[in-house]
Amino acid sequence: MQKMTPPKPTRKAVACLLASMMLIGCASTQSVSQSAPVLYPNVAYKSMGEQAAKQHLNQCLAQAQASGLSPAENRNAAASGATKGAAVAGVTGAVTGLVLGRGNLNDALKYGAQSAVIGAAAGGTRGAMSEEKANPIFRQFVQRCAAERGLEVIGWQ
């Protein structure tokens, strides 16, 4: 009985798989940066009207961003994940190459480089797929700005 070995994936297949994973990671229904404050229809809101209240709120959002604040904390997750993935996988690959290659330095470097590329792709995908976290300082800034205008933010949606 002959032992069957699975076929090795081609570079094109690996590239397609990685590209698909990145696209899946980038696709989301709504990010934190797209969420907006929800206003309670208090007396100030009713007296100025919905349009004016939204205009005041948009000014508060713009003022927060002009102050250097971002709605989301997780701004560079893909790049950070790629860097960490490359470092961890590169070192692991190099050590594995030394152990399995019986101390052959050339094999260790080859395995380390290959592992670093795979680790960078995996880490970048993981970073792109990670959830953004809302920046609490950004939200507090907007809520305080709205409160100074008589508006009450009851949540974010």
Residue type, 14: V
* Reported confidence tier of residue 27, pLDDT bands at 50, 70, 90: very low
Task: Give burial (CB, 10 Å; 0-12/13-18/19+) of 18.
Answer: middle
- What pTM does this model have? 0.49
Q: In a 3-state reduction of DSSP, which class is residue 16?
A: helix
Report the share of the chain in percent with pLDDT over 90: 38
Least confident span in 25-29, 70-74, 127-131: 25-29
Report d(CA 139, CA 32) in Å as an integer: 11
Asked if 115 contacts 84 with a C-beta cutoff of 8 angstroms, the reply is no
Report d(CA 142, CA 153) in Å as an integer: 9
* Reported confidence tier of residue 140, pLDDT bands at 50, 70, 90: very high
Of 57 and 27, the one with more pLDDT: 57
Residues forming a β-bridge with 37:
156
Task: Give burial (CB, 10 Å; 0-12/13-18/19+) of 86.
Answer: buried
Average pLDDT over residues 123-130: 62
Report whether pLDDT(26) > 90: no
Report the share of the chain in percent with pLDDT over 70: 52
Token pair in block for residue 69: 């604040």
Question: Could you tell me the residue ranges of all domains in the chain?
Answer: 36-73+133-157, 74-131
